[in-house]
């Protein structure tokens, strides 16, 4: 009589529950690759796909900054400054911090 036959057939009855770890391993590999690419390759001059588009006008050359420099240098007076600033605020949507003086 062979009493070990049922035990040996149960021991080799498929891969077992550890096979569920394979998708988790692949997910960890994909997350690691994306993280490494985001921190290295996508930083140099190019933006990552998840970042918002950059503004085309640098902050120092925006119309509001130019208006502030003209007012500071004395090219325009205070009334002209506030009048033009209100027009620029309507166009660019920047709220006034202190309001007109």
Radius of gyration of the chain measured on its C-alpha atoms: 33
4-41 confidence digits (pLDDT tens):
555 555 556 677 778 888 899 999 999 999 998 888 87
42-98 confidence digits (pLDDT tens):
665 555 555 565 555 566 678 888 888 999 999 999 999 999 998 888 877 655 555
pTM confidence score: 0.36
Query: What was the pLDDT predicted at 16?
Result: 76
Query: What was the pLDDT predicted at 95?
Result: 52
> What is the spatial distance between Cα 75 and Cα 81, in angstroms, rounded to a whole number?
10
Q: What is the DSSP letter of 44?
A: S
């Amino acid at each position: 009589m062979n009493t070990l036959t049922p035990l040996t057939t149960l021991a080799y009855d498929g891969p077992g529950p550890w096979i569920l770890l394979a998708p988790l391993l692949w997910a960890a590999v994909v997350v690691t690759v994306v993280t490494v690419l985001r921190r290295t390759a996508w930083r140099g001059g190019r933006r990552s796909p998840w970042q918002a588009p950059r503004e085309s006008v640098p902050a120092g050359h925006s119309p509001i900054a130019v208006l502030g420099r003209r007012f500071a240098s004395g090219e325009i007076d205070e009334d002209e400054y506030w009048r033009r600033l209100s027009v620029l605020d309507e166009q660019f949507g920047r709220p006034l911090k202190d309001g007109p003086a």
